[in-house]
Structure 1
Amino acid sequence: MIDLTGKAALVTGGRSGIGAAIAEALEEAGATVLTAQRGVDRARDYIEADLSDPDAPNAIITEATRRFGRLDILVNNAGVMYEGTLLEMDAETWAKTIQVNLTAPAMLAKAALPHLIESKGCILNIGSIEGLGSNPRHPAYCASKGGLHALTRAVAVDHGPDGVRCNAIAPGWIDTDLNTAFIESLGDPDQFRKDIGHIHPVGRTGTPQEVAALARWLVSEEASFVTGQIWTIDGGRMSKISLP
């Protein structure tokens, strides 16, 4: 049984989807959880912040440590995705994607590290299988998630001697509210579900709770020798070679 009693955790983008499932899983294990994102989190204490604002990371960590008096766990989950090829994308969209998905996590980690060094805490970044491969029309998203994976390894190498671990999870297709709404907007949602199930060896897509279960283990003492790793959770999708 994973025990996070007494741990203080900050989860960005924690009011919905994977972030909400992670926040709930950490709470169930005994942690005190604070989320940070745009809008209201009706399930738990939160900080309202816009991670496209370069000043937001320092402000979030300052407020979180003021409320907690410490920080043990940082989960960088918040992210954005825009559709369009590189030819279709303007510089502003590129910059916002990199800011929210890569620069903000880096600056949150930078601001949190003195507190995490003190508590011998950990960082968990939520990347994507699109940091390993690419779906069409996602160049900025893929670049940001690939960068986040690389950042994960760099932080683990630099700050392992300080007692801080850093790992990442690379989820595949997960049944978040956003993805469910996308499927329901299609002409034949049932057929799409069958089609997307076929590209996964397990025959289905994943749930936020399955990602959260891995997250809870990675931030616990049970994973104390695990750092600098990118954990793919995709139902085997990236291992399956497509037929012609």
Structure 2
Amino acid sequence: MRLKDKVIIVTGATSGIGKAIAVRAVAEGAKVLIHGIEKVDGEKVVAELGSNTRLCIADLADQATPKKIVDAAIAAFGKIDAVVNNAAIIERNNLGALTPEAFTKTITINLQSALFLIQAAFAELKKSKGCVLNIGSINAYSGESSLLAYSIGKAGLQTMTRNLANAHGVDGVRFNLINPGWILTDREYVDQVKKGMPEGWPEKLGRDNIPFGVMSTPEQLASACVYWLGDESKPFTGSVVELEQFSIIGRNPEK
């Protein structure tokens, strides 16, 4: 078991990529604080994964939430070895449509909350010589025209990761980031149908969108996360890892 007895916080873990990371972490021996905003979904995840998980329902737009998450992890498991900043919202907007309110909402949840969760957990991470794994996006390099605020937030998350890695290697705390490409989550499926894609669209995509002929899955991404959350990746820090099907990083066809 590659994560035996590690205590890991995973935000946005009641569905999608976050849930897949939590499932794999528990399978590898970790204890996981499941964070999310949907109580029913969260309770289902905890029931599925059992006694090595606890649930924390809290809105990342609330400034009190980072401390609440950290306190919940300590109360449940007594320590923190790793934080996975996975939670994010995706609201489509471009230069003409973006409002200050929409921009603030996206940056608050996708970037600011990650920073202040790290801040809240840092004393515990320093004790455990732990790590932070941020889940970014290939959109950080440019992004779709309708993902302006989202792309800005993910670019900020990438720079934040490298800044903190540079600053806190002396503390024994590692900071790394994974930039996934197009991942087939339930939310992504619904989003594309709302945009006009037909039912069953993943099986109808051309090689210009998915060169290997099949979309990447949350479970594949979770497998990669295990390495970065475990001791086998020490002492690597400040790494930005692209998990993408395209050989030219940042290539992102409009969808």
Give me the TM-score of the superposition, normalised by structure 1.
Answer: 0.92
Pick aligned residue for 1:177 from 173, 176, 186: 186
* 1:90-123 deviation digits (Å, cap 9, x = unpaired): 1111001000000000000011110000001100
Q: Is the 8 A contact 1:197 1:205 kept in 2?
A: no
Structure 1: how far apart are the matches of 2:90 and 2:238?
25
Secondary structure of the corresponding residue to residue 43 of structure 1: helix
2:10 paired residue number: 11
Q: 1:209 aligned to 2:219?
A: yes
Percent of aligned positions that are identical: 34
Structure 2: how far apart are the matches of 1:7 and 1:192?
36
Which structure 2 residues correspond to residues 105-184 of structure 1 after superposition, within 5 A? 105-184=114-193
Structure 2: how far apart are the matches of 1:179 and 1:191?
11
Structure 1: how far apart are the matches of 2:58 and 2:231?
30
Structure 2: how far apart are the matches of 1:109 and 1:12?
12
Structure 1: how far apart are the matches of 2:4 and 2:191?
38
Q: Is the 8 A contact 2:34 2:56 kept in 1?
A: yes
The residue identity in structure 1 corresponding to 2:103 is W
Structure 2: how far apart are the matches of 1:52 and 1:242?
29
The residue identity in structure 1 corresponding to 2:220 is E
Secondary structure of the corresponding residue to residue 36 of structure 1: strand
1:234 paired residue number: 244
Pick aligned residue for 1:43 from 35, 45, 48: 45
Structure 1: how far apart are the matches of 2:247 and 2:151?
17
Alpha-carbon distance change, 231 to 195 in structure 1, aligned in 2, over 3 angstroms:
same
Q: Is the 8 A contact 1:172 1:237 kept in 2?
A: no
Q: CA RMSD in A?
A: 2.0
Q: Is the 8 A contact 1:199 1:240 kept in 2?
A: no
Give me the TM-score of the superposition, normalised by structure 2.
Answer: 0.89
Structure 2: how far apart are the matches of 1:108 and 1:18?
19
Pick aligned residue for 1:59 from 61, 68, 71: 68
2:204 paired residue number: 194
Any stretches of 5+ residues in structure 2 without a counterpart?
47-53
Any stretches of 5+ residues in structure 1 without a counterpart?
none
